[in-house]
Amino acid sequence: VITIPKKLLLAGLLVAGVTVYMAYLGASASWQYYLSVDECLDRRPTLAGSRIRVSGTVTPKTLQVDPDRTRASFQLQGAQGGLGVTCRCSLPDNLAENMPVVVEGRLDEAGRLQGNKLLTRCASKYEAQLPGHAPRTAARPVENGR
């Protein structure tokens, strides 16, 4: 005879088993490497075609945004070098030069990151500007729309 605690344990194990299996399915469908620009540059040959998420800073004077804000290209700066990025997605309103950003996408054959998602830091400015740090400036549209 299965006692009530054992029945409860079985029900719990069933719920836990389904949860773990679904977590496994979700993880295998959505995982991606999280890299800094320098790590991405070092491992560029092995990353072709892989989903990656790269963090870096938008290099000043490289940010170009289409007037309809559906495409942006810029150089993502790391400590050692820079990575060219083209993003075709809805761009965050506060995207600006000198801003730390995270880009999701894949490297193309030329080694350029083709992004489909762009995250910027939150508008709630928890961190103070460092002394001597260059101010952030908004992107100038390639074609002045207004």
Partner 1 sequence: MNTLGEISLLVAFVASGYAAFACLAGRGPGRRAIGQSGLAAGLVSVAALSVVTGVLAYALLVKDFRFQYVAHYSSELLPWYYSLSAFWVGQAGSLLLWAWLLALLALVLRFGSREEAGGLEQPAFGLLMAYLCFLAAVLVFAADPMESNLALAPRGDGLSPLLQHPAMLIHPPIVFLGYAGWAIPFVLAISALAAGRLDGAWVRSARRWAFFSWAVLGIGILLGAVWAYEELGWGGYWGWDPVENGSLMPWLSGTALVHCLMGWHYRGVLKKTVCVLAIVTFGLCNFATFLTRSGIFSSLHAFSQSPIGWMFLGWMVVLAACGVALVAVRRSRLRPDRPMTSLVSREAAVLISSLALLLLVAVTFLGTVSVPLSNLVLGRKIVVGAAFYNDVLIPIALVLLAATAAAPLLRWGLPPTVQQRRALGISVLAGVAAAAIALARGVRHPLGLAVAGLAAAAVAALAAALVLDAQQDPSAAFGWKLLRLLRANRRRYAGFLVHMGFVCLVVGVAGSSLGTRRQELIMREGETVSWAGRSIHYAGLIQRELPDKSTLEARLEVSEGGQPAYILLPGQYLYRPQFESATMVAIHSTWAGDFYTILHGRRGQDRVSLTLVENPLMRWLWTGGIVAAAGAVWGLWPARRPSRGTPPVPRPKGAALRRRTNTIRVRGKP
The residues that touch partner 1, with contacts defined as CB under 8 A, are: 4-5, 7-8, 11-12, 15-16, 18-19, 22-23, 25-27, 29-35, 53, 55, 66-70, 90, 92-94, 96, 100, 102, 119-128, 137-138, 141, 145-146
CA–CA distance from 54 to each of 78, 104, 131 (Å)? 10, 7, 26
Nearest distance from C-beta of residue 65 to partner 1, angstroms: 9
- Tokens 């959505």 map to which residue? 30
User: Closest CB to partner 1 among 28 and 110?
Assistant: 28
Q: Compute the distance between CA of residue 88 and CA of residue 72 in angstroms, rounded to an integer.
A: 7
Report CA torsion sign: 99, 136, 64, 78: negative
User: Closest CB to partner 1 among 82 and 100?
Assistant: 100
Three-class SS of residue 11? helix
Nearest distance from C-beta of residue 136 to partner 1, angstroms: 9
26-58 exposure pattern, b = at least 16 Cβ within 10 A, e = fewer = eeeeeeeeebbbbbbbeeeeebeeeebbbbbbb
Nearest distance from C-beta of residue 105 to partner 1, angstroms: 13
User: Closest CB to partner 1 among 109 and 132?
Assistant: 132
Nearest distance from C-beta of residue 58 to partner 1, angstroms: 14
User: Closest CB to partner 1 among 53 and 112?
Assistant: 53
